[in-house]
Amino acid sequence: MKKHNFNAGPSILPREVIEKTAQAILDYNGSGLSLMEISHRAKDFQPVVDEAVALFKKLLNIPEGYSVLFLGGGASMEFCMVPYNFLEKKAAYLNTGTWAKKALKEAKAFGEVVEVASSEKDGFTYIPKNYEVPADVDYFHITTNNTIYGTELHADPDVNVPLVGDMSSDIFSRPVDVSKYICIYGGAQKNLAPAGVTFVIVKDDALGKVSRYIPTMLNYKTHVEKGSMFNTPPVVPIYAALQTLRWIKAQGGVEEMQRRAKVRAEMLYAEIDRNKLFRGTVTNKGDRSLMNICFVMADEYKDLEAEFLKFATEKGMVGIKGHRSVGGFRASCYNAMPVESVQALIDCMQEFEKMH
Ligand SMILES: *Cc1c(COP(=O)(O)O)cnc(C)c1O
């Protein structure tokens, strides 16, 4: 049976990315060796990093003066690297979910942290608006897509301080005005590559401004100066990321990814709103994520949750159970998600409705 992969992360990748990576693992460029067996310093691996960096810059329209890094540690490591490198006195954070909160907690060890707004009291069901960011902060940290709660900032905030963005789960799904940011980071395993590599876009002249000692491995400068090769980078995930970047470019770039994301999300949210058995969890519809579409059984049909999960699973839906902290369902629809899979889930919801 065809599987429809709605996993939240690690998650769906384009089939050709998986095939090309599998091929390189068996025999890298006809060398008779596996990609897993060669040095990251081998002359035929350097072009992989170079092309991945170049495609990052091209696809996101990154201005001059920025570096793109491929590191280990996951987005969670960036929660500490960001304040280590950028927080001298004071930083502002927008508390929009579990990941945002973890980033904020880490920053508190490095200086004064202002939580400018939070939707935590309301279960993170919307993105706070009309907050004020103090003018004297070193940066304002946002989580552009809240993977667990299914909310998303659809535009880069208009503030007069440098932004830092966790874009783990919506990178390459919309155009970004990178010039507003001093740092953009994310784990690759939502929208780019298998787990193991973390992408970081960093503004070069924002580095070196804090007075503290930064441990070598946690210092962005180390990795900028060594082109992500200070130590052994995660070679296989970087190779896979390059295949995804090539795929995005061939499909028509970030604008096309955004168009597809809107089509998928409109279809699925329309069904959630129409179908009497279900309701969306995000209270402000304008804040609904195009990537992680969260819904629960309507109050009158609460008892049917386990039954729907079983029904949908039998029809090939994978990974639609909501995060344990929210419950219900979450259909993650990252860049590689075909519209046919979204239609298959909608068919499931309609069939289930007819049975009740
Ligand atoms: C998954 C996720 C993280 C954590 O990523 P790791 O690579 O596992 O550390 C952080 N932020 C967001 C928005 C995420 O979706």
136 is catalytic: no
Pocket test for ligand 1, best of 81, 94, 99 (most atoms within 8 A of CB): 99
What's the fold here for domain 15-251? Aspartate Aminotransferase; domain 2 (3.40.640)
Residue-level pLDDT at 42: 81
- The helix or strand, by DSSP H or E, that contains position 309, with its residue range, turns out to be helix 305-314
The yes-or-no answer on residue 121 being catalytic is no
pLDDT band at 41 (very low <50, low <70, confident <90, very high): confident
Interval 165-174: pLDDT, tens: 999 999 999 9
Ligand 1 atom 14 nearest Cα: 168
Q: State the pLDDT at residue 44.
A: 83
Written as six digits, the tokens of 49 are 């990093």
The residues, ordered by sequence, that sit 6+ positions from 49 with a Cβ below 8 Å of its Cβ are: 70, 227, 228, 229, 233, 238
Is the confidence at residue 325, as pLDDT, over 90?
no
What is the predicted pLDDT for the residue at 43?
83
pLDDT digits 0-9 by tens, 10-31: 999 999 999 999 999 999 999 9
Higher pLDDT, 349 or 39: 349
| Structure confidence by residue, pLDDT tens digits, 103-141 | 999 999 999 999 999 999 999 999 999 999 999 999 999
Q: Which atom of ligand 1 is nearest to the CA of 188?
A: 7
Residue 187 Cα: closest atom of ligand 1: 7
* Cβ < 6 A, ligand 1 pocket: 9, 74-76, 99, 143, 147, 166, 168-169, 187, 190
Quote the mean pLDDT of the chain.
97
pTM here is 0.98
Q: In 3D, which of 240, 223, 243, 244 has the Cα closest to residue 232?
A: 223
Peptide bond into 10 cis (omega under 30): yes
Q: Is 4-11+253-355 a domain of CATH 3.90.1150.10?
A: yes
Going from the Cα of 187 to the center of ligand 1, the distance in angstroms, rounded, reads 6
For the chain, the structural domain boundaries read: 4-11+253-355, 15-251
Burial 99-133 (b: 16+ CB within 10 A, else e): bbbbbbebbeebbebbebbbbeeeebbbbbeeeeb
For atom 7 of ligand 1, the residue with the nearest CA is: 74
CA 17/CA 328 separation, integer angstroms: 31
Of 20, 101, 190, 203, which residue is the catalytic one?
Answer: 190
Whether the per-residue pLDDT at 303 is higher than 90: the answer is yes
Single out the residue of 197, 194, 186, 171 nearest to residue 71, CA to CA: 197
190 catalytic per annotation? yes
Rounded CA separation 26/32 (Å): 8
